[in-house]
Amino acid sequence: MKPLIKKLVEAYGPSGYEDHLRDLIRAEIKGVPDYISVDPLGNLIAGLRSKAKSGKKVMLSAHMDEIGVMVNYVDEKGFCRFTPIGGVGTLTCLGGRVRFANGVTGVIGIEKRDDNSRVPTFEQLFIDVGATSHDDCPVKVGDAAGFVRAFEEHGDRLIAKTMDDRIGCAILIEALRALKRTPHEVAFVFSVQEEVGLRGAGVSAFGLEPDLGIAVDVTRTGDTPKGVKMEVALGRGPAIKVRDSGMLADPRIKNLLVKRAQEAKIPYQLEVLESGTTDAAAMQLARGGVPAGCISIPCRHIHTPSETVDFRDVQWAVKLLVETLEKPIEL
């Protein structure tokens, strides 16, 4: 699974520009599902059609997009001003590298400031792409870039720029490969534009009309020095969501996931997240409403170029999904 994770996390794909990721995932799952389709917004949907009489229509969702930046001005010396795509923080930008769709790499710099004690603003940052003038700048207004950082392993700890949420995509791919039988009709959705408003999952849930939905995404942890007080830590199993700032998980879905974890002796944690949400929030509000929940992978340093997860949590999440989908579901 690690070569798959490396391929996904190092790939380019800011919100709205997921084409490359979609092609990578399509190649990885070719021949496995009953069908593969792409909806008008760009969500990739891999479906298993067979459904027993007692089966449910299940939607799973993990988002392909990553946070990034977009050029909004190029000055006379070829330096690019930019605006964030999704939840980018200025402190994690300084000295960072970004790569555009055309392969151009830029370095994020900062103006000289009068007061270095203040958090810099985006207006004070710029991208240096090696240009000497406006005319020879290799990127233009409207071009989007993702951050650049190689995938690293520290034992069971995996580090990359886009664990949010390429690790969820990897889990869906592995679960699809491992699921040998299911009484349910299952749609594995690799969604777009989550980082800018859960847009892809909302569209897919509206079109699919599932009986229930489960998102797979990352969540914060409470295991770093003076971090948030949160009962989630790396290496203790996937987190089953109870609530976040965008949704209250349906208790039936939460209890279902807890039951499957206990039956299979899979370690798990319960997640109460004070800030942030997932595709499950969009699924929950589709059409007349969808019972929805979320399996979360504990992740340190979210929305930085060094997001960190534990490989054991990832493997357990795959097993939990398969265990859930192989058996009948009663709501």
Phi, psi of 61 (to 5 degrees): -145, 130
Residue 263 burial class via C-beta count within 10 angstroms: exposed 0-12, middle 13-18, buried 19 and up: exposed
Burial 137-161 (b: 16+ CB within 10 A, else e): bbbeeebbbbbbbebeeeeeebbbb
Q: Are 152 and 307 in contact (CB under 8 A)?
A: no
Backbone angles phi, psi at 169, to 5 degrees: -60, -45
Does residue 194 carry a catalytic annotation? yes
Candidate list 28, 194, 195, 307, residue with the active-site label: 194
Which segments of the chain are extended strands (E)? 35-38, 44-48, 57-63, 68-74, 80-85, 97-100, 105-110, 125-128, 144-147, 152-154, 157-160, 185-191, 212-219, 239-243, 269-272, 292-298, 307-310
* 185-191, strands of its sheet edge to edge: 35-38, 44-48, 185-191, 57-63, 212-219, 292-298, 239-243, 269-272
φ/ψ of residue 310, rounded to 5? -105, 130
Closest CA to 167 of 294, 17, 268, 298: 298
Q: Which residues are known catalytic residues?
A: 194
